[in-house]
Structure formats: structure tokens, C-alpha cells
Amino acid sequence: MGLFKKKNKKDKVENVGGLEDFMTLIRIYMQSEIAGNMGITNINMLPDLATFKRGLKIKTKGNKLGVAEKAQCKKMLAQMYGISESFFKELDTCIRKNCRNVNMLQPFMYQFQGFSSDLMMQVGTILKWRFRVPKFLKNALHTMTQDAVHKIMTVNSWKDEASYKTVFNIRQYQQQLGLSEEWMTEYAFNMICLAKKEPRNKENLEAAREMLKNRG
């Protein structure tokens, strides 16, 4: 996938399909859905989508920006990361609910960015070292992630003030976005698995959080 190839000084491809690619594809998918819903024709309003469309030379379908791009991005997310159909359906509903006109575009994207950042930080805080479990214990890691998300959404007593504030923010975001615990689990689980594959100096969820903060 040429659009996402990263090369080191020796021109060897590395980290293709990694954490940053995943986050980029999620943003492209969202921007494609937004473009299709709003009838946006100025592609420069959606920079990730513009890069994706031009890089893969995707032809506009039915004179409507976003349709063909969304289909291609969805296919890639499903093939590369195993993203489920229910994940896409929930995200579509979330976008249609919270981004109904151009004026809502940037606030929505920042809101989703904040939600993602806080969710990953708190899941990482709860799991601590456990997200480093070996690949063959992937099912166990998924269960741990599911339990962490459920704890975020149900437990009201936290040992430290930082966790309390982060959990409060996540619940506020979740209420507005309308994304389920199942969606949050699938999203966080994929992020954790991909963070585990990064070089050692990036193999932690703080790195994932920083990437999310800088994508805007």
C-alpha cells in the first residue's frame, strides 16, 4: 500500500499497516462519510481524504465525493485490521448524528480526537503492563480490554484525581457520540495490538495518545 509506506535511511519499508496507518484510515473513513453526507465538493476541506484519493487515484463515483473513497477505506480497514461491520455502522450513525453541517465539522473531529486520546490513556492506565502480553494470548488481551472499558463506564470510585477526571471526560464524550462499549472495546483493542508492534521507544499507549493529539 504505497500511500502508507514509511522508509528508513536504508530505504527499507517498515511499519506498514501499523498504528499510525490505522488512525489515518479511521480519519479517512470518517471524512469520506462526512463528505458523502454533506455533499462536500471542496476536497481541500478534508486533508486526509484528499491525500488518500490522490495517492490511490480513486475516481469519484456518481459525481459524489466520499462514496468510492469510503468503500475503499472500509475494505482496507476490514482486510488489514479485521474491523467488523458493526464497528462501521456505529461510526456512521455517530457521524450522522454529530456532524450534520459544515459548521459542526471541526468541533466534531476535535471531540472524537479528545475521546480517542482519553480512552486510550485510561485503558492503558488500567491495564498497565498487561497490554504487553504475548501474541498467542490475544484473546486474553481482548477480554482485559473489554473489562477495562466496562470499568471506565461503570466504576465511580478511582484512586487518583487524574483517572477520575479522565473517566468523567470519556463518559461525557461517549454520551454525545453515542458509541457503545462494544465499539470502544474494538477500537481500543486494535490500538493496543498495534502499539505492541511499534519499536520499543513507541511501544506504549502514551505514544498512541500523542499521535492522536497531533493528527488535528
Give the pLDDT confidence of 114-173 residue by residue, as tens digits.
999 999 999 999 988 666 666 667 888 899 999 999 999 999 999 899 999 999 999 999
Q: How far is CA 118 from CA 96, 114, 169, 171, 210, in A?
A: 23, 6, 7, 10, 11
Whole-angstrom distance, CA of residue 195 vs CA of residue 192:
5
pLDDT for 11: 41
Inter-residue contact 199 to 155 (CB < 8 Å): no
Rg (C-alpha) for the chain, rounded Å, is 17
The DSSP letter of residue 7 is E
Q: Which of 10-19, 72-81, 131-140, 200-209 is predicted most confidently? A: 72-81
One-letter identity of residue 86: S
User: Per-residue b/e over 51-67, b at no fewer than 16 CB within 10 Å?
Assistant: ebbeeeebeeeeeebbb
Q: C-alpha angle 126/128/130, rounded to 5°?
A: 105
pLDDT for 167: 97
Model confidence over 30-65: pLDDT tens digits? 999 999 999 999 999 999 999 999 999 999 999 999
| Grid coordinates belonging to 157 | 470510585
7 forms beta bridges with: 13
Residue 70 pLDDT greater than 90, yes or no: yes
pTM of the full structure: 0.83
Contacts with 103 (C-beta within 8 Å, 6 or more apart), sequence order: none
pLDDT for 201: 45
Pick the closest to residue 177 from 117, 124, 131, 109 (CA basis): 109
Contacts with 201 (C-beta within 8 Å, 6 or more apart), sequence order: none
CA 37 to chain centre: 20
